Amino acid sequence: MNNILILGAGRSSGALIGYILGQAKIYNWRVTVADSNLEAATKKVNGHPNGMGVWLDVMKINDRRDLIKRADLVISLLPAHLHIEVAKDCILLNKHIVTASYVSKDIYKLADDFRNKELLFVGELGLDPGIDHMSAMKTINEIKDMGGHLTSFISNTGGLVALEDLKGNPWRYKFTWNPRNVVKAGQGTAQYLENGKLKYVPYRRLFKEYQLIDIPGFDEPFEVYANRESLLYRDAYGLGDTPNIFRGTIRYRGYCDAWNALVKIGLTDDSYPILGSENITYHELLEAYLSKPKTAGLSVKDRIGELLGERPYSPVMKKLDWLGLFSKKKIGVPEATPALILEKLLLEKWKLEPEDKDLIVMQHQFDYTLDGKKKRRYSSMVLHGKNAKDTAMAKTVGLPLGIFAKLVMTGKITSRGVHIPVSKESYEPVLKELEEHGIKFTEREV
């Protein structure tokens, strides 16, 4: 196998493309990076002799298949909903495919087709999902091999920014990943398992019912809100009889209460357009969400505070004010949903500056019994980015995907069908090489 096709050259593709091109020089591979933005694809290849950037409208079936036909392995960085079409092409054209995205139910339905053709589809090879799977399975298997019995598994991950680069930003947050996913985070109902009983947290309560956790090396606790898919991996992890399972997202203190305010107002809703949104101001938009008659002498800001149960100068209200939600600046986006309006505003306020350093924080907690004794093990990983281009997010999303792709290209992965990286064949070599890139877990037991 000599040819790799990378579909997508977006925000977090740099580390992956850089790694694959580095390996291409060693193994004499040819690497094609395809994107609808030819300049972005060409820039990511950066004149490498083993690489080429090309233009591709992925919706043009013949053009897409023509590129896939020439490859031995496809690495898809496309939006998740497009993976199904690429996967079907790979079956038709007898190609392996890997991606960092979640494996959907529709992809799992293709498992027999991939297996019957001796092909491989592996998804969830990024950070979360991805490194979380691999690092968790490593420790779970170690505990089971010792004869231990898991009674609780808690896994929390966050993509943050170093505090020194957040001065003047009361939210203490900036975008290091897909802004749309941040705005729509948590929509639906979060589920987890507590003392053997299912727990459900609807979206309207999610950011109100957060937890606090401590992580070594940090002076203050973090906030954690529950993920929707906490129980999705119960069987894949071999935790069918484990009574406590929780997966969460990490944020700095103060974030969840303020985001809960945006939810309560209605600004994260993506289900309907705001008519004439290009001509109204943010101030007028917020006033439209106030259904009670105007109280004499109270501003829109004061009335929003009443709606939220917040004092005029509370930390939450200061965060909303800092975003510019009470300004008389026009929104300028036609027929936009509230979520799209919010995303546009946040893109202006939460943009990474060139020298900003992002931060990845992941911590697993394993409670288990061994020889009649209760034990708790923590496994933590902290990684700092260098700047807005060389980010920890790009590294933790791209490198495990690239390393796994190398294993497929060199024949080290023998499994076929549709999988996520929970087998030793997958996680042991990937985690080992990640350590060489500074992505390493430290463990402590109490």
Lookup result for tokens 């680069």: 165
Is residue 128 part of the annotated active site? The answer reads yes
> Do residues 190 and 407 make contact, with C-beta atoms less than 8 angstroms apart?
no
Catalytic member of 89, 128, 257, 356? 128
Query: Structure tokens of 91?
Result: 């079956």
| Dist CA 259 CA 268 (whole Å) | 9
Q: Following CA atoms 227, 229, 231, 235 in sequence, which dihedral angle do they give, to the nearest 10 degrees?
A: -140
Lookup result for tokens 């949104």: 277
| Dist CA 325 CA 164 (whole Å) | 25
For residue 250, the cross-strand partners are: 224
Q: How far is CA 396 from the centre of its chain?
A: 10
Nearest Cα residue to 306 out of 366, 338, 264, 345 = 264
CA distances from 162 to 343, 392, 397 (A): 22, 11, 18
Burial class (CB in 10 A: 0-12, 13-18, 19+), 361: buried
φ, ψ of residue 392 in degrees (nearest 5):
-65, -35
For residue 194, the cross-strand partners are: 197
> Do residues 435 and 55 make contact, with C-beta atoms less than 8 angstroms apart?
no
| Dist CA 83 CA 99 (whole Å) | 8
Query: Structure tokens of 73?
Result: 């392995």
Q: How far is CA 364 from the centre of its chain?
A: 17
Which sequence positions are flagged as catalytic? Answer: 128
